[in-house]
Amino acid sequence: GGPCERGGWGIREGMVTGDAEEDDKERKQRTGTSAWQDLRGDHANVALLLLLYTLQGIPMGLAASVPLLLQERGASYAQQSVFSFVSWPFSLKLCWAPIVDSIYSERIGRRRSWLIPVQLICAAMMILSPAYVNAMLERVEVGGLTACFFALYLLMATQDIAVDGWALTMLSRRNVGYASTCNSIGQTLGYMISFVLFMAINSPEFCNQYLRASPQNTGMVSLGGFMSLFGWVFLGTTVYVALFKPEGTPRPLQAEDDTRGEYAPPA
């Protein structure tokens, strides 16, 4: 219990830490020197997952901007509270997740059977949105806007179920952990694009100060116009998935990448 003993323990702990660091360095030399190298063979899959999750965040960010737009047009707090119901599908998606997992076409694929039609419907709704969203916003038709964005949230919650399941077989076993990273980064990026960017270019004050040579009374893009633009992105992504991204069997972990046996504790 004396100082020497405590010092001895500190030396021994330092030796153990040093040994662990050396072992980690040796493991990295055998299995790859960086996380980016560990993604070999999965770069395109990670990029696709990031895109799908980013698209998932687009309706979320737009839905967050609608209460601010309604408030500018004189909507009451009661009307704005009604609109808050649009986010419920993400909280309740567990209720129909078993249906998404169990009903599918083997020819199309377990996940694509839901992903493709869901994104096509979402693309159609967003592309056609200038015909009805802008008018409902100007007339402060909270019921219509709530129904529209509730449907978009429902579609995106279903898309989330399908993409989460597909990520488990799309990525190799050693990289499955990156699926949650793609989810977090993609949804956040999509939310920022459709909320921060949209609110900026929808604001006449911001556009007149930073983006225009001569001032005007309106922003550079309306809610319907912004939705229509990303509706085409939804459509293009869905066509790519339908034509060029078939579902495959779960990808095995290659033998040279599995180092668990090398570090098994002695019996």
Query: Does residue 4 lie in a domain region?
Result: no
Q: Between the CA atoms of 178, 183, 185 and 190, what dihedral angle is there, to the nearest 10 degrees? A: 150
pLDDT value for 144 = 96
3-state helix, strand and coil shares in percent for the chain, rounded to the nearest 5: 80, 0, 20
Within a 10 A sphere around the Cβ of 124, how many other Cβ atoms?
Answer: 13
Tokens of 114: 């839901």
pLDDT at residue 264 in the model: 39
Mention every residue, 6+ apart, whose C-beta is less than 8 A from residue 81. Answer: none
The answer to whether position 258 is within a domain reads no
Q: What is the pLDDT of residue 39?
A: 83
Q: Is residue 93 part of a domain?
A: yes
Classify residue 56: in a domain, yes or no: no
Taking CA atoms, 265 is separated from 150, 165, 236, 260, 262, in Å, by: 53, 34, 51, 10, 9
pLDDT of residue 40: 80
Q: Specify if 149 maps to a domain.
A: yes
- In a domain, residue 100? The reply is yes
Task: Domain of residue 178: give its range.
Answer: 65-248
The pLDDT value recorded for residue 103 is 96
If one counts the domains in the chain, the total is 1
Spatial neighbors of 41 by CB under 8 A, at least 6 apart, are 172
At residue 22, the pLDDT reads 54
225 assigned to some structural domain: yes
CA–CA gap between residue 125 and residue 117 (Å, rounded): 12
Angle subtended at Cα 45 by Cα 39 and Cα 48, rounded to the nearest 5 degrees: 135
Q: Is residue 118 part of a domain?
A: yes
Q: Would you give the end-to-end CA distance of the chain in angstroms?
A: 33
Distance between CA atoms of 165 and 102, rounded to whole angstroms?
Answer: 12
| Cβ contact 115:246 at 8 Å | no
187: CATH:
1.20.1250
Digits of tens for pLDDT over the chain (267 positions)?
554 444 554 544 454 445 545 555 554 555 444 555 578 889 999 999 999 999 999 999 999 999 999 999 999 999 999 999 999 999 999 999 999 999 999 999 999 999 999 999 999 999 999 999 999 999 999 999 999 999 999 999 999 999 999 999 999 999 999 999 999 999 999 999 999 999 999 999 999 999 999 999 999 999 999 999 999 999 999 999 999 999 975 555 444 444 444 333 444
- Residues sharing a CB contact under 8 Å with residue 88, sequence separation 6 or more, in sequence order: 150, 153
